[in-house]
């Protein structure tokens, strides 16, 4: 895979360094363990489901900070004193990071049947939500009557 050098662009732009870092990191090889799905469960709700077979709740750590969700898994070594002939179930430590959009918060997480489910909710502030604006009608005298949108007139 080709590597693109963005360093000339860093010198000639202001405020786009995060964008170039994201593009640069997308070009690099991303870790594939543990596998995960991201699904939309509602108009403003999402779910990350991650396969963490063999990990208990106490082995997993979730941290949401600013626009980054970090999931870490570290399992204590239980193979001591055991003679394992073949290891097909991965139990290695991992760290997986997800960029989270603005106004998205972690609603909760639960572990069921070897899958870690993390629910995300997008909550827009009232000022950002679309609102319907009524159109006023004109009267015979040339004056227009308009409806007030948000508050009652005193």
Domains and CATH numbers, the chain: 1-30 (no CATH), 34-124 (2.60.40.790)
68 vs 25 pLDDT, higher one: 68
Question: Is the pLDDT confidence value at 68 over 60?
Answer: yes
Token code pair at residue 58: 């106490």
Res 88: pLDDT: 79
Other C-beta atoms lying within 10 Å of the C-beta of residue 100: 19
Question: 144 near 132, Cβ under 8 Å?
Answer: no
Give the three-class secondary structure for 47: strand
**Mean of the pLDDT values across residues 65-94?**
82
3-state helix vs strand vs coil in the chain, percent to 5: 15, 35, 50
Res 144: pLDDT: 52
Sign of CA dihedral 28, 34, 35, 40: negative
């Amino acid at each position: 895979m080709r590597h693109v050098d963005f360093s000339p662009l860093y010198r000639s732009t202001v405020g786009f360094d995060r964008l170039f870092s994201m593009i640069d990191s997308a070009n690099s090889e991303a870790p594939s363990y543990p596998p995960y799905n991201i699904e939309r469960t509602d108009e403003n709700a999402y779910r990350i489901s991650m396969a963490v077979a063999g990990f208990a709740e106490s082995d997993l750590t979730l941290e949401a900070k600013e626009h980054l969700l970090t999931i870490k898994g570290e399992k204590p070594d239980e193979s001591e004193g055991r003679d394992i002939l073949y290891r097909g179930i991965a139990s290695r430590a991992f760290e997986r990071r997800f960029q989270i959009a603005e106004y998205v918060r972690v609603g909760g997480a639960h572990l069921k049947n070897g899958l870690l489910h993390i629910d995300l909710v997008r909550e827009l502030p009232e000022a950002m939500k679309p609102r319907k604006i009524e159109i006023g009608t004109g009267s015979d005298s040339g004056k227009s009557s308009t409806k007030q949108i948000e508050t009652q007139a005193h």
